[in-house]
A and B are shown apart, each in its own frame.
Chain A
Amino acid sequence: MTATDSTTGAEIGRARRRKEDARLITGRTRWTDNIVLPGMAHLAMVRSPVASALISSIDVSAARSSSGVLGVWTGRDLDAEQGDLPCAWVITPDMKHPRRPAIAVDRVTFAGEIVAVVAARSAAEARDAADLVAVEYDDRPVVLDMTEALAPGAPLVHPELGTNENATWVFDSGEAGTGQSAQAAIEAARSDPDSVVIERTYRQQRLVPAFMEPRSTVVDPTGDQLVVWSSTQVPHVARFLMSVVLGLPESKIRFVAPDVGGGFGGKIHLSPEEVLTTLVARRLRKPAKYTESRSESIVSAHHGRDQIQKITLSARRDGTVTALKVDLLADMGAYLGIVTPGVPILGAFMFNAIYKFPAYRFSCTNVFTNKTLTDAYRGAGRPEATFAIERTMDALAAELGRDPLDLREQNWIRHEEFPFTTVCGLVYDSGNYEAATAKAKQLFDYDGLRREQAERRDRRDPVQLGIGVSTFTEMCGLAPSRVLGSLSYGAGGWEHAAIRMLPTGKVEVVTGVSPHGQGHETAWSQIVADRLGVPFEDVEVLHGDTQVAHKGLDTYGSRSLPVGGIALVKAADKVIDKARPIAAHLLEASADDLDFEAGRFTVRGTDTGMSIGEVALATFAAHNLPDGVEPSIDADATFDPENFSFPHGTHLAAVEVDTETGRSRIRSYVCVDDVGVAVNPLIVEGQVHGGLAQGVAQALYEEARYDESGTLITATFVDYTLPTAADLPNWTTDRTESPATTNPLGVKGVGEAGAIASTPAIVNAIVDALRPWGVDDIEMPCTPQRVWRAIQAGSTSGGAQ
């Protein structure tokens, strides 16, 4: 085998530099938009500028005769073959579920919906022709606000449904038998002088996932076969859905995710554009490509968050929490995407967070509006839950005059209480909130900053200091298939991996997850190098092409490592199991007398042995194998997790708020995350950094805003105020390690942690700075204007200053 500096058995935990980087830093990338095929047609979409209208007429004649145009199609032209884009999560039996066409036929329900598609020789000619398509709209009234949408007589987004309510989903710990009745506990608290009831309403603004690579699709039809390259997180799911939507045999479709430039949930779907590119390519019997512009992406690709959260929390005056009740409104937008109605449910079991609530009730009403659909965005449901509970715990601490960390500690699950069954019935397998908090407080200098805060208050410094706390947990590693089934989700949550032992001793790893920036090629190499005792450099990771990685459920919900990584371990163990009898035969020993360590089988008590690579070569030759043993030590495994994983951490933010201008500046940010065992600490840190940035962006900067006619007015990065390097601080990250007990690597997920934890830490800090002004809440994003207004309102209503 190749001699390298790899020390087998020591890869997990090592800060390996990434294998992926070589092509990415030199421009030798394989983005979908880079693909050019002979005779390829380029597509452009015509999109509705209005949010709700009947399509009166579409005149495509000028476009059709424009230079280089191969064809122009409207919804009427394609309706018979376009099918219905599916939603995989029917959350209640009576859920209202509108048909979602890839291209609008008779009416449009949001601004940005596709009404015509043009194919031309070049992208520029397609765009030119698209501008010549004349569409007349007969405007219908729009409904944009969730409360108005539910009011009697509101305009209906989908008149055939008879309502704008998609579904109402309820969990009640009293009814489920996992706890007491929250309603009863809160009623009792209201009349108990020794109890307090905190009621708050929070708004989760609408966000744009904002992956950097615009979505792109190339489709090459050859006879009955279709090859689809697409900028997607979910090539396997998309292939399945395309087969269902278009009625094509799944076996005829090959889906490839080449280099994919970020996703954050924004690329988990079969998109209208993927369907239309396929339909046009089939009609033209030529390859076709569609790449969205950024403006099109922001307007029409799915958004995230957009909830109104009404929170009721009761506690005894000694600080012990007694009940939590959550009433949500969640904006679906105009259609249901793959998991749109289920996003709030992914948060439903997380509002109780790390605290020992004895009673809990959750109710969510999903609402249709004439806006872009929402769906999964980094954290999907859990950031919303974490924000609400962490804001409310701070409100309780303020009400009781307690330190927010002390109050949390009084209520959280102590490390010796794991495994702990929550009021939702989830079993948290491991964690140590004390350890993470102690480390974070020390790194942050919590006591010193509290002293400085008091001094600034005393001297009435115009720049006040706020300290924000967020002690989060989340559920990830989606997911145990049985649990998904019990929630009426339309698929399972297993993952697949295969290992091919090449005769030269090199190892090919096939994984069903589909990376788009996470560094799986590096981390998977480390896992296999350790497990099989082969050099890191000798492992090649293959993914993202359904012809190569034929089976998988792809990447989202921080599932790749805790589910896909474990499938990999199980496949590696099978390789060793298959190699053992062959090695025993060749070493003329009993299989029971062989030890396998650091990549070698050795006969116990001797120095006789052979490497797994030598076994691979002998198996390839197959000249001398034991009777009845197949000539292969390749193996695969499909792993279904027994539980979710529950990373947690303590995030502390120090934010300076200029009370004269309303400007907030993050002075320091410390987080100590416990994600179990870290396979590659460098990658873990990078995931946390990026998550923090997105969470902070929600707290301070970003919002997808519509005007009263339903036009998105933040359709560029500048208008959306996506943060730049100058808008964000350095992060201080550290870890504690409570290994997961439900998988052999002890790993938890890390992809979403930073985004889940950081938003409430920042808003808590700003509110903490301004409590002397009577400020109790500031709506996100906490722009200088909103902060300044809150200070003014607080001052006039009798705040301290």
Chain B
Amino acid sequence: MGTTRISVTVDGVTYTDDVEPRTLLVHYLRERLGKTGTVVGCDTSNCGACTVHLGGRSVKSCSVLAVQADGADVTTIEGLAGPDGALHPVQQAFHEAHALQCGFCTPGMIMEAVDLLNDNPDPSEEQIREGIEGNLCRCTGYHNIVKAIRQAARAGTAAPTSAGGAA
């Protein structure tokens, strides 16, 4: 099978790789770059566990081909904290509000929440619930996730992440 050369910046590091055109971005991140913080929860683009930022906007990385990320900036959960390891306010809020249990949906949920707050720094509860509708959680009943996002919003966060963190 032929390959295509791509150049992608992920969490602040630029990678040039030859990939099969069919390779999904999530598989490229996990299998080529070792970015296993981003996980696969389904095969039908329903669960949102694989959510990352592509060009500063959230995408389900299972529904993007790696070749579509050519030339783009990708931020994963692993690039969200500051260069000194300081947690992003949304990460901090998830911890404080007990917004995770098993934690499998958490990376995608946090990336989606950051995108939501970038769009709307002060969302209502209803806007939060609709904003994270594409991300499924089975442990929390969403209550504390919604609470965490509101807390992060109140903390005035919505820090842009398209620049990514340092390696």
Contacts and interface: CB of A to CB of B under 8 A. Distances in A.
Interface in B106-120: 106-107, 110
B77 A26 contact: yes
Task: Give the interface residue-count category, chain B.
Answer: 35 or more
A718 interface: yes
Nearest to B90: A25
Interface stretch (B35-43, B63-71, B151-159): B35-43
B6 to A, nearest CB: 17
Interface stretch (A14-22, A106-114, A428-436, A494-502): A14-22
Interface string A609-637: 00000000000000000000000000000
A716 B46 CA distance: 8
B102 A260 contact: yes
Interface in B25-41: 27, 30, 35-41
Contact of B101 (A31, A293, A690, A717): A690
Contacts of B36: 27, 29, 31, 33-34
Nearest to A17: B95
Contacts of B30: 34
Interface string B134-156: 11111111111110000000000
A25 B100 contact: yes
B77 A262 contact: no
B102 A725 contact: no
Task: Give the interface residue-count category, chain A.
Answer: 35 or more
A465 B94 CA distance: 35
B132 interface: yes
A11 B74 CA distance: 42
A294 B140 contact: no
Contacts of B125: 730
Given A20-B103, A264-B138, A717-B136, A33 B78 contact: no
Nearest to B130: A726
Looking at A31, A516, A518, A686, which has the most chain B CB atoms within 10 Å of its CB?
A: A686
Given A21-B95, A261-B104, A717 B46 contact: yes
A726 B133 contact: yes
A214 B41 contact: yes
Interface in B59-104: 76-78, 80-81, 87, 91, 94-96, 98, 100-104
Interface in A667-691: 682-683, 685-687, 689-691
B32 to A, nearest CB: 11
Nearest to A264: B138
B49 interface: yes
A731 B141 contact: yes
B125 to A, nearest CB: 7
Contact of B87 (A25, A260, A718, A731): A25
A29 B30 CA distance: 12
A171 interface: no
B98 A17 contact: yes
A508 to B, nearest CB: 23
A683 B145 CA distance: 14
B139 A25 contact: no
Contact of A686 (B40, B101, B134): B101
B128 interface: yes
A161 interface: no
Contacts of A747: none
A329 to B, nearest CB: 28
Given A26-B78, A726-B130, A212 B96 contact: no
A212 B47 contact: yes
Contacts of B107: 25, 27, 29
Nearest to B142: A725
A690 B138 contact: yes
Given A27-B76, A692-B141, A717 B87 contact: no
Nearest to B79: A27
A213 B102 contact: yes
A24 interface: yes
Contacts of B22: 124
A398 B107 CA distance: 48
B60 to A, nearest CB: 13
B26 to A, nearest CB: 12
Looking at A33, A213, A682, A716, which has the most chain B CB atoms within 10 Å of its CB?
A: A213
Contact of A689 (B77, B110, B144): B144
A27 B77 contact: yes
A259 interface: yes
A445 to B, nearest CB: 20
B105 interface: yes
A276 B111 CA distance: 36
A517 interface: yes
A693 interface: yes
Contacts of B140: 686, 689-690, 693
A20 to B, nearest CB: 7
B47 A717 contact: yes
A767 to B, nearest CB: 23
Contacts of A717: 42, 44, 46-47, 136
Nearest to A18: B98
A716 B105 CA distance: 17
Interface in A717-731: 717-718, 722, 724-726, 728, 730-731
B102 A27 contact: no
Contacts of B35: 27
Contacts of A295: 42-44
Interface in A254-292: 259-262, 264
Interface string A189-226: 00000000000000000000011111000000000000
A213 B20 CA distance: 26
Contacts of B38: 27
A27 B111 CA distance: 11
A697 B88 CA distance: 32
Nearest to B101: A517
A519 interface: yes
Contacts of A687: 101
Contacts of A25: 77, 87, 91, 94-95, 100, 103, 106-107, 110
Interface in A100-148: 124
A685 B98 contact: yes
A444 to B, nearest CB: 17
B139 A517 contact: yes
A686 B97 CA distance: 10
B104 A262 contact: yes
A774 B162 CA distance: 58
Contact of B142 (A20, A294, A728): A728
Given A17-B96, A18-B95, A21-B95, A519 B101 contact: yes
A725 B104 contact: no
B37 A28 contact: yes
Given A18-B98, A212-B41, 20 more contacts: A17-B96, A25-B100, A27-B78, A124-B20, A124-B22, A211-B102, A211-B138, A214-B40, A262-B104, A264-B138, A518-B101, A686-B140, A689-B141, A690-B138, A718-B46, A724-B132, A724-B133, A725-B137, A731-B141, A731-B143
20 contacts: A21-B103, A26-B91, A27-B36, A28-B78, A29-B37, A124-B22, A214-B42, A294-B47, A295-B42, A690-B141, A692-B141, A694-B141, A717-B46, A722-B136, A724-B135, A725-B130, A725-B133, A726-B129, A726-B133, A728-B143
Which 3 pairs between the two chains have the least Cβ-Cβ distance?
A: A27-B37, A517-B102, A24-B103
